[in-house]
Amino acid sequence: MAGRRLLWLVLIVMLVFGAAELPALARMSSHGTGVLGFEFAANTHRMHEILTHWGPAGQAAAQEHVFIDLGFILGYGLLLIGLCGRLAGRFEREGRSRVARVAALLAWGVLIAAVANAAQKMVLWFELHGHIAQPLPAFAAVGGALTFTLAVPAALFAAAALFAAIGARTMRRASAVTASGGRTR
C-alpha cells in the first residue's frame, strides 16, 4: 500500500510541475519556436536563430521551462520506474517471467531516459547563457531522442497494463454478479 501511495504522490508531483511549466511553454511558442524546436535544434546555426528570434522574453521563458521541467522529469521518471517495477513484480508472481523481464527492462530504460532528459536540460541551460558551440546542440538533440525512445514505450506499456488490469477486474466483478444471480454484495 505504501508503494501505491508513493506512486500517487509522484503522479501529483509530475502533474503540478507539468502545469507549472505550461505558461513558459506558451510564451516560448508565442515568440516563434516551441519547446520541441528548441530541444531538437541540433546545430549551432539553428540554436542561434531560435535564441535571436526569441529575444530576451522568449529566452526568459525558456529558462523558466528548463528549470521547472527538472521537477517534471523527476515526477515522470519516478512514476514510470515505479509502475514498471511494480508490474515486473506482479507479472513474475503470476508466472509471466518474459513479460516481467520486459517491464524490468523498461524501468531501467526510464531511468536512462530521465538522466538523459536532465542532462539535456543542463545543456539547454548552457545554450541559453551563450554557449551554443557544438557539440552542445547535438548533445541536447540526442538527449531528447533518447528520452523519447526510452520513456514513451514504458508509458505505453504501463498504460496498457493498467487498462488490462481494470478490464480484468471489471470482468471478474461482472462474473461474480452473474454467478450470484444478479445480487450485488
- Which mean pLDDT values do the consecutive 10-residue runs of the chain (185 residues) have? 84 96 94 90 92 92 96 96 94 93 96 97 94 91 95 95 81 72 58
The residues, ordered by sequence, that sit 6+ positions from 77 with a Cβ below 8 Å of its Cβ are 110, 111, 113, 114, 117
Has this prediction a pTM greater than 0.75?
Answer: yes
Place of cell 510564451: 27
Element of type H or E holding 152? helix 136-179
d(CA 176, CA 145) in angstroms, rounded, equals 47
* pLDDT score recorded for residue 164: 86
Q: At what angle do helices 136-179 and 44-93 cross, to 10 degrees?
A: 30
Residue 111 is assigned to a structural domain of this protein: yes
Residue 184 is assigned to a structural domain of this protein: no
Q: For residue 27, give its domain range.
A: 2-179
82: closest CA among 168, 11, 152? 11
Residue 135 is assigned to a structural domain of this protein: yes
Residue 185 is assigned to a structural domain of this protein: no
Q: Give the count of domains, the chain.
A: 1
Q: Which cell numbers in the block locate residue 123?
A: 545543456
* pLDDT score recorded for residue 107: 96
